[in-house]
């Protein structure tokens, strides 16, 4: 009897424990109402915090982009110093949007070309009526005859002395005034073959003076229109002479960077000096290319199809992709939040032409003038006078 009672007590205790165990594990989920409450709380917190997080993300992207750009500039400068020849940066405009750039490449200047032998010559011919000069290479100088070796903007001089002339495109024409002085020229994107045709085994390339001072008035065989060219250049057979070509920078293989999504170089307001801009034309899709010399200073810059020396600081505005292109129409100061150069979260990168010193500073607003050029000048002035950001 006593044993039966003990067994009954043990059974009841085990059943009680099993009931508690089952109840605990059967109650381990959430009800639909509980889940909806949790989701509502998460949504409310997200909605409240996202507006505070997004600006911080924008600032982080801009700062990261400025670090990438300034580091790439400094790397090219170091390579120029180390190699003792010009090395620079190739800034590619976005396809279909010439006011923005996100891709940067290292570029270098190839060695000068003077033909494939020590006796290499070409023939210089100048039309005394139109003022257009043409160079015809010898068949033995095959690199010069290729379609990729020479490019618009390459500089050439004759007999290793005198002024440099610019190799240009087949539609290049001289626009002169009543005194027959060159006022301006029209450029195209590719080199010219003489008379718009290709001949074999020789081909001709058009050249024009780099500076107005290299062009003279009243062209005639006895008074050359180009400084440094003899009368023979205007004759029927032309002038055979040695030559030297300074080739334009080319992209280096495998050396490129891309800015983070949402950030871009604002080329609408970047430029040279106080009030010059890289985006000189709505149709200008050519890259911006600048090089450092062996001392670390700036050597040259090419944009809008023209290469020139650098005598003033270069400015690059790192801004928000969403603000490009900038608003069209007149600038009246009522839409300041739509312009990158007036956004204090954006960053200027400036390069000193003599020393090559690269500095970064936040974009700053000056006056409330309705003159956009004045506002840009003031913003760049703050960048020039500011101390470096120290990698912030």
267-308 confidence digits (pLDDT tens): 999 999 988 899 877 777 889 999 999 999 999 998 877 788
Asked if 136 contacts 202 with a C-beta cutoff of 8 angstroms, the reply is: yes
Residue 320: CB atoms within 10 Å? 18
Q: What is the pLDDT of residue 197?
A: 41
Asked if 249 contacts 200 with a C-beta cutoff of 8 angstroms, the reply is: no
Taking the C-alpha atoms of residue 375 and residue 83, their distance in angstroms, rounded to an integer, is 40
Taking the C-alpha atoms of residue 375 and residue 317, their distance in angstroms, rounded to an integer, is 14
Q: What is the pLDDT of residue 185?
A: 47
Exposure b/e, 71-96, CB count within 10 A at least 16 = b: ebbeebbebbeeeebbbbbbbbbbee
Q: What is the pLDDT of residue 354?
A: 94
Asked if 182 contacts 215 with a C-beta cutoff of 8 angstroms, the reply is: yes
DSSP-derived secondary structure letter, 52? H
- Ramachandran assignment for 252, one of left (phi > 0), alpha (psi -120 to 50 degrees), beta (any other): beta
337 to 193, 218, 263, 286: CA distances (angstroms): 49, 54, 16, 28
Q: What is the pLDDT of residue 209?
A: 78
| 166 SS3 class | strand
Domain boundaries, the chain: 60-109+249-385, 122-246
Which tokens sit at 198? 């290709």
Q: For residue 264, what are the contacts with CB-CB under 8 A and spacing of at least 6?
A: 65, 94, 100, 101, 102, 318, 319, 320, 321, 324
Q: What is the pLDDT of residue 190?
A: 38
Taking the C-alpha atoms of residue 94 and residue 280, their distance in angstroms, rounded to an integer, is 16
Count of CA atoms in the C-beta half-sphere (13 A) of 329: 6
C-alpha closest to that of 182 among 136, 218, 236: 218
The pTM of the whole model exceeds 0.85: no
Q: What is the pLDDT of residue 216?
A: 63
Q: What is the pLDDT of residue 51?
A: 64
Residues of the chain with pLDDT under 70: 1-29, 48-57, 128-131, 169-203, 212-213, 215-224, 332-333, 366-368, 386-392
| % of the chain exceeding 90 in pLDDT | 35
Taking the C-alpha atoms of residue 343 and residue 142, their distance in angstroms, rounded to an integer, is 52
Q: What is the pLDDT of residue 316?
A: 96
* 60-109+249-385 topology per CATH: minor pseudopilin epsh fold (3.55.40)
C-alpha closest to that of 230 among 156, 159, 136, 182: 159
Taking the C-alpha atoms of residue 217 and residue 197, their distance in angstroms, rounded to an integer, is 29
């Amino acid at each position: 009897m006593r044993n039966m009672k003990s067994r009954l007590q043990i059974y009841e205790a085990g059943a009680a424990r099993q009931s508690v165990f089952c109840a605990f594990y059967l109650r381990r989920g959430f009800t639909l109402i509980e889940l909806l409450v949790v989701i509502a709380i998460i949504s409310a917190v997200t909605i409240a915090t996202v507006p505070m997080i997004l600006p911080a993300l924008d600032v982080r992207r801009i700062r990261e982009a400025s670090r990438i750009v300034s580091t790439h500039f400094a790397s090219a400068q170091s390579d120029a110093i180390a190699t003792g020849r010009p090395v620079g940066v190739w800034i590619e405009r976005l396809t279909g949007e010439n006011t923005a750039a996100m891709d940067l490449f290292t570029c270098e200047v190839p060695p000068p070309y003077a033909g494939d032998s020590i006796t290499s010559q070409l023939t210089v011919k100048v039309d005394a009526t139109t003022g257009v000069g043409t160079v015809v290479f010898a068949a033995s100088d095959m690199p010069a005859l290729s379609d990729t070796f020479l490019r618009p903007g390459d500089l050439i001089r004759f007999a290793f002395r005198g002024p440099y002339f610019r190799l240009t495109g087949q539609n290049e024409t001289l626009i002169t005034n009543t005194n027959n002085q060159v006022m301006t020229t029209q450029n195209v994107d590719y080199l010219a073959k003489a008379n718009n045709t290709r001949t074999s085994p020789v081909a001709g390339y058009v050249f024009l003076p780099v500076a107005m001072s290299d062009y003279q008035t009243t062209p005639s065989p006895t008074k050359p229109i180009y400084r440094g060219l003899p009368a023979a250049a205007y004759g029927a057979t032309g002038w055979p002479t040695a030559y030297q070509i300074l080739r334009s920078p080319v992209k280096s293989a495998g050396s490129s960077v891309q800015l983070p999504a949402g950030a871009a170089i604002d080329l609408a307001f970047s430029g040279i000096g106080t009030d010059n801009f890289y985006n000189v034309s709505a149709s200008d899709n050519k890259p911006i290319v600048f090089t450092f010399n062996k001392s670390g200073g700036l050597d040259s810059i090419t944009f809008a199809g023209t290469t020139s020396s650098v005598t003033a600081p270069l400015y690059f505005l790192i801004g928000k992709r969403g603000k490009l292109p900038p608003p069209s129409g007149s600038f009246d100061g009522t839409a300041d939040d739509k312009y990158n150069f007036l956004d204090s979260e954006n960053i200027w990168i400036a390069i000193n032409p003599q020393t090559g010193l690269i500095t970064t500073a936040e974009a700053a607003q000056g006056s409330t003038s309705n003159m956009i050029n004045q506002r840009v000048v003031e913003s760049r002035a703050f960048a020039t006078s500011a101390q470096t950001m120290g990698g912030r």
